[in-house]
Amino acid sequence: NYDELPFEQEIKTVSERVRVISVPFRAEFTVTPESVLSSTRCESYGYPLELTMIGEGKGIRLGRLTTRMVFCADGQPVGPYGNGTGVFVAANGDELYFDLPYGLIVWNEGDNADYYPTRFNDEFYFTGGTGRFNGAGGSFMTNAYVHLPVDENDMFHADFYSSGNLILNRGRQRNK
């Protein structure tokens, strides 16, 4: 019985409430391959390759942005990818981190399939950041289209038209 336990000291606490807000997230950007490497890390997840993609674009809450993402894939035009991480670097240098746990690239059956034969629309998760993105959360859908090269003068790239919700920490407020 808990009533029989001695209570020897009074504990005083001040609770802190973290103020957070959820705001729309939108970003349009293009990525190209920086490297495609064999990877023992990715092999442990069932993928033979680790891809690093870099790019730039613009976004709400980011302004002009750069991005870098590293993930695992099998190198085929369609199929699964995942086990990755990424970062958006905002115009002022603040960083917004995200995870890409799993995704699926599929054949594009839309009106733009001649230029973008494949596409993916997977959920990526915000995992914090620096500056105003410290403690950030939320997620976004990729809504991305992949252009595959048709000759040696053409370049592989993916165009993203992403949207979601970004949860921002707006500081702490003491309750007495």
Coil/strand/helix, residue 111: coil
The span from the CA of 114 to the CA of 121, in Å, is 18
pLDDT-based confidence at residue 92 (cuts at 50, 70, 90): very high
Six-digit token string for 133: 């993105």
- pTM of the predicted model, to two decimals? 0.84
- Tokens 């973008």 -> residue: 116
The span from the CA of 67 to the CA of 24, in Å, is 19
Six-digit token string for 32: 């190209």
Task: Give per-residue pLDDT as tens, 55-71.
Answer: 999 999 999 999 999 99
The Cβ of residue 73 has, within 10 Å, a number of other Cβ atoms equal to 20
Coil/strand/helix, residue 78: coil
- The amino acid sitting at 38 is S
Average pLDDT over residues 29-44: 92
Determine the pLDDT at residue 150: 87
The span from the CA of 29 to the CA of 137, in Å, is 20
72 with 47: CB under 8 angstroms? yes
Please check the confidence at residue 176 and state whether its pLDDT lies above 60.
Answer: no
The span from the CA of 23 to the CA of 173, in Å, is 20
Six-digit token string for 13: 């606490």
Please check the confidence at residue 175 and state whether its pLDDT lies above 90.
Answer: no
| Size of the chain in residues | 176
Q: How far is CA 118 from the centre of its chain?
A: 20
Coil/strand/helix, residue 64: strand
Q: How far is CA 131 from the centre of its chain?
A: 17
Determine the pLDDT at residue 169: 87
pLDDT-based confidence at residue 17 (cuts at 50, 70, 90): low
Task: Give per-residue pLDDT as tens, 103-132.
Answer: 999 999 999 999 999 999 999 999 999 999
